């Protein structure tokens, strides 16, 4: 009797294990649809890190660029910020040296100081102004490269070669060639979703078109669910989509 009970329990456990394996297989292989999703389509602004003059633009407007490509070269050779230790201090030192020499010349003319004292003052004046000029002398040509900060299409800010750019000003933008979608899934799928998973994407504005995609990052679970970022594989630059536009993401079978 006891043996029958033991065999029955073992048989039940085997059946339960088989059922769980079937369930897990179904879970891993079924398509799962997002709870909510929205488009990420931000232009990446390119900012000048120095004052300078545009020496060369490496691409034309609307050319495709890759992150890291050199899109422009800036000549910063004659910028005070690069060639002078401190322009205001040097100017102030020059003015002080001139004033001290002029006072010495007046005192020598009036007989207040001797010729030797005057000569020493003149020598000191020439030394100080020469040192100041050396601190701000023209440098060898200094060229700085500006790099694309994303993959996409370049659009310069109405610049041409020879134009002056200022530090922290906009050189242009890179319009992403491929949009991305931030999607939320039920937390129960947290172990099912992996970076590299394939997906199909529908953008609400364009319901007739289905795009392919790939999970590129997986974030922490928050109040909205399991957050992931899915890159759209196809070119979306010609679509009129903005940040926050609705989308539907379905993760495909494994």
Residue 193 in any domain: the answer is: yes
Q: pLDDT by residue (tens digit) across 218-247?
A: 888 888 889 888 888 888 877 788 888 889
Q: pLDDT by residue (tens digit) across 66-86?
A: 888 998 999 887 665 555 556
Residue 221 in any domain: the answer is: yes
* pLDDT on residue 211: 92
| Span 51-59, average pLDDT | 89
Residue 10 in any domain: the answer is: no
Residue 201 in any domain: the answer is: yes
Residue 224 in any domain: the answer is: yes
Q: Length of the chain in residues, anyone?
A: 254
Residue 187 in any domain: the answer is: yes
Whole-number mean pLDDT of the chain?
77
Can you give the pTM of this predicted structure? 0.47
**What CATH number is associated with residue 222?**
2.40.30.170
Q: Are residues 183 and 247 in the same domain?
A: yes
Structural domain count, the chain = 2
Residue 35 in any domain: the answer is: yes
Nearest to residue 71, comparing CAs of 60, 80, 81?
60
* pLDDT on residue 152: 80
* pLDDT on residue 212: 92
* pLDDT on residue 26: 47
Residue 119 in any domain: the answer is: yes
Q: Are residues 131 and 184 in the same domain?
A: no
| Domain carrying residue 238 | 28-42+178-251
Q: pLDDT by residue (tens digit) across 115-163?
A: 787 777 777 777 776 666 656 655 567 888 888 887 888 888 788 888 9
């Amino acid at each position: 009797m006891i043996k029958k009970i033991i065999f029955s329990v073992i048989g039940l456990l085997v059946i339960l294990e088989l059922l769980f394996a079937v369930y897990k297989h179904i879970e891993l292989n079924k398509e799962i649809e997002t709870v909510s999703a929205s488009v990420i389509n931000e232009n990446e602004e390119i900012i000048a890190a120095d004052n300078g003059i545009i020496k060369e633009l490496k691409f034309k407007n609307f050319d495709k660029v890759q992150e890291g490509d050199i899109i422009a070269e800036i000549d910063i050779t004659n910028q005070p910020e690069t060639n002078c230790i401190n322009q205001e201090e040097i100017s102030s030192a020059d003015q002080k040296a001139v004033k001290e020499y002029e006072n010495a010349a007046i005192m020598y003319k009036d007989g207040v100081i001797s010729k030797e004292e005057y000569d020493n003052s003149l020598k000191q004046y020439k030394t100080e102004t020469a040192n100041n000029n050396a601190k701000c002398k023209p440098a060898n040509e200094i060229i700085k490269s500006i790099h694309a900060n994303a993959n996409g299409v370049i659009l310069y800010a109405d610049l041409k070669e020879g134009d002056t750019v200022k530090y922290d000003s906009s050189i242009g933008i890179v319009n992403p060639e491929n949009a991305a979608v931030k999607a939320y899934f039920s937390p129960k799928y947290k172990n099912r979703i992996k970076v590299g998973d394939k997906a199909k994407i529908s953008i609400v504005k364009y319901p007739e078109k289905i795009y392919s995609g790939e999970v590129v990052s997986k974030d922490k679970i928050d109040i909205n669910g399991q957050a992931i970022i899915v890159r759209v594989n196809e070119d979306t630059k010609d679509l009129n989509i903005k940040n926050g536009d609705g989308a539907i993401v379905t993760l495909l079978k494994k």
